[in-house]
Amino acid sequence: MNRRRVMEKKWWHKTVGYQIYPKSFQDTNGDGIGDLKGVIRHLDKIEKLGANVIWLCPVFASPMVDNGYDISDYMDIDPSFGTMEDMKELIAEAKKRGIRILMDLVVNHSSDRHAWFQAALKDPFGKYGKYYVFREGKDGKEPNNWRSIFGGSAWEKVPGYDKLYYLHIFTKEQPDLNWENPKLREEIYEMILKWMDLGLGGFRLDAISHLKKNYQYTNLPPDGPDEYNMAFEYFNNVDGLADILCEMKERTFAPTDALTIGEYDHMGPEDVEDVIGENGSFSSVFDFCHTLDNVRNPKWGNTVALFDDYRDQLFAAQKIVDGRGMLCNFLENHDKPRSIDRFLMPEDQNLYSEKMLPVTNFFLPGIVFLYQGQEIGMTNCHRNDISEYDDISTKDQYQVAIDAGCTKEEALACCYENSRDNARTPMQWSADENGGFSAHAPWLAVNPNYKEINVSEQEGRADSVLSYYKELIKLRKSPEYEETFVYGNVEPVYEDTDTVFGFMRMGKENRQKILVAANYGKEAVSLPLPGTAKKLLLSNAGRRKLADADHITLESLETAVVLLKA
């Protein structure tokens, strides 16, 4: 793997990112909702952790139908998070600490409250009507039978018109923008450049693979009882998307040296050069290969079976990229249950396994992102009633389970395993009331385990998960080894050894060889080293050195990073 990498070095190649869900990070004004001043308050902690990039989930003005992913004004901050002055202060204070801010940008669609769409409703055939996708229905129905990603028709009837509909591949409050319109594109580009002029580091681009649609508008065979079809191939990675993305990059991102991370589904080997290659549209993309993995799914059913599949998926993703670009390596985000509960059965959850998890992808080629609370081992949150959830998709899933004959307890168990709210519980700063998040009742109840799992408690313990994450980041950013971790080749090892996740990182210029190995099995394993050990760089078991220069024995859930002699 990674034999052909020829890459111009960029500042963002050394990214260790930290994703923040502002609503749940820190409340400073007592309204139970996190805000930008709360992010500013904890910049020193993020700096000490070792992150040099912060990705903020949406803070633009929004009606919050979809938690801010429905933007009503691209050049204003939602009052629940603060003001534009707060945003400017955050950018400036982060810069003082060597941290760049990424904003979460949504340009596949806007909110239906956006001034453009309000004007379009008044005149669907005028200037702003052309900023969106309006079509006439057929035979008294929608223009076609596309299903929205959130369920139901992807078309909504325009008030005051008998046959006219607008397209929304997400909620009806999120009308799709018409990227075929050059005037719309110019508006978007101007907005992006204004933000970069304010000192922004770049953007995470939401739903970016949907900008181009196949406008044949033919009905497709229904794939469900609702008579609709999830016509993904008609609005995801459609031919011509690369041209749009390339134009956006050339007009906005390239001239400003922005870090851009695309939410881009199903990148194949043939797409790499266009997407994240040396001249690709984005700096990186999130690799979603493992995001459906859940140890409680009968497909896996236990920690060992899941990790076998997880290991193979990550190696396959690296093979697809083949050194031509950098993936974004992550375990958690705002849309997924916590990684401890996703990857580990309850009986396997302990300090060793919680420290093993990040090592499995932290040292692979690519940039790294952590999600708030991951660094202290935050977990999923049990709820006693569906009314305690906020996430609309969780409530829908609960009702589907009830309608299918599940008991309340069974439906809630499903929510516990899958709800996005698991990642959105307030950050656990201390054992104080509400986990130190707010003096007011939080918008979403804090996980009751905050008294045991919190930042304050772990900052004072050398063996804590937080201390271990600091060690991880310090090692990855170490001047002595950073060149190998960032630009070195990768080769899987021990692929035929059950329960072992292992790979080599090999420096090109410095000829370094570093082994990363984890044993996710129940029993100890003894492995021949692919070289002679020189130094143990990291251990989740408190080891200081290896007993043997030619072999390594890993106990259950143990991981090690070993420098080998060149």
Q: Which residues are catalytic?
A: 206, 263
Check residue 278 and report its DSSP letter: T
Please give the angle made by the CA atoms of 14, 504 and 357, to the nearest 5 degrees. Answer: 70
Query: Could you tell me how many residues make up the chain?
Result: 566
- Element of type H or E holding 136: strand 134-136
Is the separation of the CB atoms in 147 and 224 below 8 Å?
yes
The 3-state DSSP class for residue 183 equals: helix
Nearest CA to 269 out of 204, 330, 318 is that of: 318
Nearest CA to 29 out of 86, 108, 93 is that of: 86
Measuring CA to CA, how many Å separate 101 from each of 36, 192, 261, 278, 389? 12, 14, 13, 23, 30
Is the separation of the CB atoms in 209 and 265 below 8 Å?
yes
The 3-state DSSP class for residue 397 equals: helix
What residues contact residue 141 under an 8 Å CB cut-off, 6+ apart? Answer: none
Cβ-based neighbour number of residue 21 at 10 Å: 24
Nearest CA to 309 out of 287, 293, 332 is that of: 293
Both tokens of residue 173?
């409050």
Buried-exposed string 476-487: b where 16+ CB fall within 10 A, e elsewhere: beeeebebbbbb
Q: Using only C-alpha atoms, what is the Rg of the chain?
A: 24
Check residue 109 and report its DSSP letter: B
